[in-house]
Amino acid sequence: MKTIWIATGNPNKAEEFQNMFGDQVQVKSMKDLKEPIEIIENGTTFEANALIKARALYNVLHEPVISDDSGLEVDAMDGGPGVYSARFMGEDTSYTIKNQAIMDAVKGKTRSARYVCVIAYIDENGHESTYRATCEGQINDQAVGTNGFGYDPIFYYPPFQTTLANVSEAKKNTISHRAKALQMFMADKGAELL
């Protein structure tokens, strides 16, 4: 079985990638490294941060790696929290508090928002590629659902007529920003990986 390294320490992201890849590959994350590596995501775009993570892991393994940088862009917040989605209001602040702050910020304003995901890939020869995808939606006026993670309880997806936290992981993975970016990546590089 082929192993694919994902430049993340987030177990939710690693599990989501594993579910999207299926049984054809084994996903390993930075939690599987013998020695931890520290990555400072100081890019100002999703592409820059995805490449920072991929390069850091590639420089340790010298094997093909993928990473993603993703976040929530809220139009009423001038595209924020954007690349700072995980660090919005502090990394240790609960998403219950973050979600409430975003719902408060859009009151009486446009609720349009999108999830953005950029997947970066570095092959065994060090060649780099990026793939960007979005999932368009709205900020809900209350948190709904217990599935997913992060901002999913407040991200209303009109075709489902509910939030992404209120549908199964399998259903979310048919339309999510990460699933779309992964499909683009697999269409381009899948043959050389699998």
- The catalytic residue positions are 69
Whether 92 has a binding-site annotation, put simply, is no
Q: For residue 186, how far is the Cα from the chain centroid?
A: 16
Residue 149 annotated as binding site: yes
| 178 marked ligand binding residue | yes
Residue 96 is labelled as binding a ligand: no
Helices (H), the chain: 11-21, 46-61, 95-106, 169-172, 177-193
Q: Is 173 annotated as a binding residue?
A: no
Please tell me whether residue 176 adopts helix, strand or coil conformation. coil
172 assigned ligand-binding residue:
yes
| E strand residue ranges, 22-127 | 25-29, 65-74, 80-81, 112-122
Beta-bridge partners for 69 = 118
Determine the Cα–Cα distance for residues 152 and 140; give it in Å rounded to an integer: 10
Is 108 annotated among the ligand-binding residues?
no
Cβ–Cβ under 8 Å, residues 127 and 80: no
Is 9 annotated as belonging to a binding site?
Answer: yes
Is 62 known to sit in a ligand binding site? no
CA angle (69, 172, 184) in 5-degree steps: 50
Annotated binding-site ranges for substrate: 8-13, 70, 149-152, 172, 177-178
Annotated binding-site ranges for Mg(2+): 69
